[in-house]
């Protein structure tokens, strides 16, 4: 246990000294995200480890292997979405992180169950304060909703009449076509 505390202290001091590994020229160009990418240029000062051009991530910056991936408290973080997932958590070795997708009501259930099992919640500084704040907010919302005058649904006015399409002309019969053709011939012959 004492060895674990020593390793955690060592991890925390190393984390404070560890530089930020940012992509080359990401501070100059907006299109380049600061996420680390290995420099591959032939003349790259960063690749050549030149002084004043940033740091490359190398194994010497790594923390102690036994406490790697643990929380500052020394607990291994577990992401929790439901209350049933809490049953498999060992409070001595694991800490709980409530997922960001979990709503307020379900988070209250998870927090109360975790407190009853003595499981530490890592992503809330004061879980009890969070629970009381949410419960107060829900109570206020409920009170406001009950105090507001209820709006009755207005019945819809008369249904709008459906526009009727104009009736299409009856199909032209053969006789009418023949009569029109004759008249057109008369007009043409009379002009000549």
The 10s digit of each residue's pLDDT in 46-88 is 999 999 999 999 999 999 999 999 999 899 999 999 999 999 9
Residue-range domain boundaries for the chain: 76-144
Distance CA(18)–CA(56), nearest Å, equals: 11
Least trusted range by pLDDT, from 9-18, 133-142, 166-175: 166-175
Least trusted range by pLDDT, from 19-28, 93-102, 178-187: 178-187
pLDDT of residue 173: 80
Question: Is a pLDDT exceeding 70 seen at residue 169?
Answer: no
Helix axis angle for 127-147 and 104-116, nearest 10°, is 140
| Residues 19 and 46: beta-carbon distance below 8 Å | no
pLDDT of residue 111: 95
């Amino acid at each position: 246990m004492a060895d674990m505390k020593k390793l955690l202290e060592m991890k925390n001091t190393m984390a404070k000294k560890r530089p930020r590994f940012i992509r080359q020229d990401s501070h100059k160009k907006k299109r380049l995200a600061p996420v680390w990418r290995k420099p591959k240029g032939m003349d790259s000062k960063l690749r050549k480890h030149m002084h004043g051009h940033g740091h490359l991530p190398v194994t010497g910056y790594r923390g102690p292997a036994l406490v790697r991936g643990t929380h500052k408290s020394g607990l291994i973080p577990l992401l929790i979405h439901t209350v049933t997932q809490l049953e498999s958590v060992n409070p001595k070795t694991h800490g709980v992180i409530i997922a960001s997708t979990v709503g307020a009501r379900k988070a209250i259930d998870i927090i109360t169950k975790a407190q009853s099992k003595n499981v530490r919640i890592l992503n809330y500084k004061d879980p009890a304060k969070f629970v009381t704040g949410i419960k107060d907010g829900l109570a206020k919302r409920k009170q406001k909703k009950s105090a507001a005058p209820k709006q009755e649904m207005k019945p819809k006015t008369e249904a709008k009449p459906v526009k009727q399409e104009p009736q299409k002309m009856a199909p032209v019969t053969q006789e009418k076509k023949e009569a029109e053709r004759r008249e057109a011939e008369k007009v043409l012959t009379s002009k000549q």
